[in-house]
Amino acid sequence: MRRISDNDLLNHYIVKHHIENIFDKDILKHAQLHFYEKEEYILEAGSNLEYYYLLVDGKIKVSYPFENGKSMLLKFYREFNSIGDLELLKNILILCDIDAIEDTYLIAISSEILRKEYLDNVKFLHHLIDSLSEKLYATINNGSYNFVYPLINRLSSYLVEHITDKNYIVLHSSYIEIAQFLGTTYRHLNRTLKELESKSIINWENKRIYIVDEDRLRELAKNLYMKSL
Amino acid sequence: MRRISDNDLLNHYIVKHHIENIFDKDILKHAQLHFYEKEEYILEAGSNLEYYYLLVDGKIKVSYPFENGKSMLLKFYREFNSIGDLELLKNILILCDIDAIEDTYLIAISSEILRKEYLDNVKFLHHLIDSLSEKLYATINNGSYNFVYPLINRLSSYLVEHITDKNYIVLHSSYIEIAQFLGTTYRHLNRTLKELESKSIINWENKRIYIVDEDRLRELAKNLYMKSL
DNA sequence: TCCTTAGCATGACATATGTCATGTGCAAAT
DNA sequence: ATTTGCACATGACATATGTCATGCTAAGGA
């Protein structure tokens, strides 16, 4: 993480995403701009929420870890979205793991300051309601996908979300981590990648995955994890 | 459904659940008291939200239906809880099916009136935030259970939730409906009931299920669906 | 150089769950 | 009385996924 001290850029994002509709100017005095590079982790479940974040540029992935060490992909977020609503409001430890999957800019505001001074600010309350209801809606929808669709669909969706302008994807996590992220085992992930390969949808060479048939991949993906954004 | 015109009872519930902390008196003038008997359906996914409800007495179950006709048990609610937040706020069709599983009293307030006149009421906004964040928290937790635990656990939980003071449970839905509700097939539900029977945890006779070993049943249940209340 | 270990690959098998076909009994319709 | 249909029961088989054991290879110590 790098803290970016470029006020012009900060203001650019504030204007671009109409953040003055959310926070009054005196709150925005506390706003910082944080930068995370691709593949950097942003938040870890179980730790304390130091900042309430607004995702203003880039892309992140959110997953929920279980007791047994497994986890479940919840969704991918692009700008504009907020991070930490629930933890801020209920004053609980962070629920989800969050990683940047592209270079990402976040506006960060101290959660302590927000809790102490701005939890009755009507603008902010309206924003929280919007954000919470959006997330609840998405979560109800999404939880169902993990339940209903087999791994080949979730994996396809995962790959689609990582497509760049190149014709291949470079995976930066270990396969074990990716499996956990998708809520399955390494063994089954491996099997399913092989299956995609045998169907000539991808070609697979170490950590580099060539997209052979993007159309069929997208068809399998059914836009699962981004659908409700 | 019966509309109950007993103002004393209505006021009793208003006092009991501190509803004046949620709604100002002028909103409460619109409050009605609705009664649903055990096994009666309350809301159907896809229909319009006529009232915003506060569950003040009884017990209901909430399930989310998929495109393919299957559905997933989301959770059981007891008093005190609100129903329809999301649909009220986002002005969408009802997302979940809701059934009473005990005799249930709801305070009902016209969603049209709330939308038109009270969506800026600060008390109400605070209540919505509480309710939404509680539900989001519960849903994130819960979705995981369906994903992680096999049917025998979810079924046990379902049975535990239906325990009365008798030593047996009478099922009032068809097995097909129960299977859909638990997100599985009739075939597998049948198999799993047989499994519970073979382990001498239940005894099974038509629609009547005798609880032979409640302790082991509760152990299997892990309090899944009520846990996060 | 040799040993150790992490990350990866893969076969064999077990379990959870779905699909399908078929059978049975009862109640409503003809 | 016969037919029809629905809820329920059950075997056989298929698929999705997990568990375990085993082997391979490359990188980093000792």
Return the pLDDT at B210: 94
CB contact under 8 A, B139 and A143: yes
Nearest to B106 by CA among B83, B132, B75, B87: B83
Q: Which residue on chain B is closest to A147 by alpha carbon?
A: B147
Q: What is the mean pLDDT of chain B?
A: 88
Structure tokens at A165: 């302008």
Return the pLDDT at B151: 94
| Per-residue pLDDT tens over the stretch B108-158 | 999 999 999 888 888 899 999 999 999 998 888 777 777 888 999 999 999
pLDDT-derived band at A229 (thresholds 50, 70, 90) equals very low
| B85-95 exposure pattern, b = at least 16 Cβ within 10 A, e = fewer | bbbbbeeeebb
Average pLDDT over residues B45-68: 88
Whole-angstrom CA distances from B141 to A15, A130, B132, B135, B226 are 36, 21, 14, 10, 11
Question: Quick check: helix, strand or coil at residue A133?
Answer: helix
Return the pLDDT at A78: 80
Q: Tell whether the model's pLDDT for residue B97 goes beyond 80.
A: yes
CB contact under 8 A, A72 and B147: yes
Find out whether B135 and A129 touch, Cβ atoms under 8 Å: no
Q: Tell whether the model's pLDDT for residue B68 goes beyond 80.
A: no
- What is the rounded distance in angstroms from the CA atom of residue A33 to the CA atom of residue A3? 6
List of chain B residues whose C-beta atoms are within 8 Å of the C-beta of residue A128: 129
Whole-angstrom CA distances from A7 to A10, A18, A31, A83 are 5, 16, 10, 22
Return the pLDDT at B75: 80
Handedness of CA A195, A199, A204, A208 (dihedral sign): negative
The answer, for B147 touching chain A at a CB cutoff of 8 Å, is yes
| A114-128 exposure pattern, b = at least 16 Cβ within 10 A, e = fewer | beeebeebeebbbbb
pLDDT-derived band at B56 (thresholds 50, 70, 90) equals very high
| Per-residue pLDDT tens over the stretch B196-226 | 999 999 998 888 999 999 999 998 987 655 4
Strand B41-43's sheet: what is its strand order?
Answer: B41-43, B97-100, B59-65, B71-78
Return the pLDDT at A122: 87
Provide the chain B residues 10-49 that lie in CB contact (below 8 A) with chain A.
none
Structure tokens at B181: 């509700």
Return the pLDDT at B52: 96
**Proximity of residue A208 CB to strand C below 7 A:** no
Q: Quote the pTM value.
A: 0.82
Domains within chain B, CATH numbers bracketed: 2-132 (2.60.120.10), 149-221 (1.10.10.10)
Return the pLDDT at B165: 86
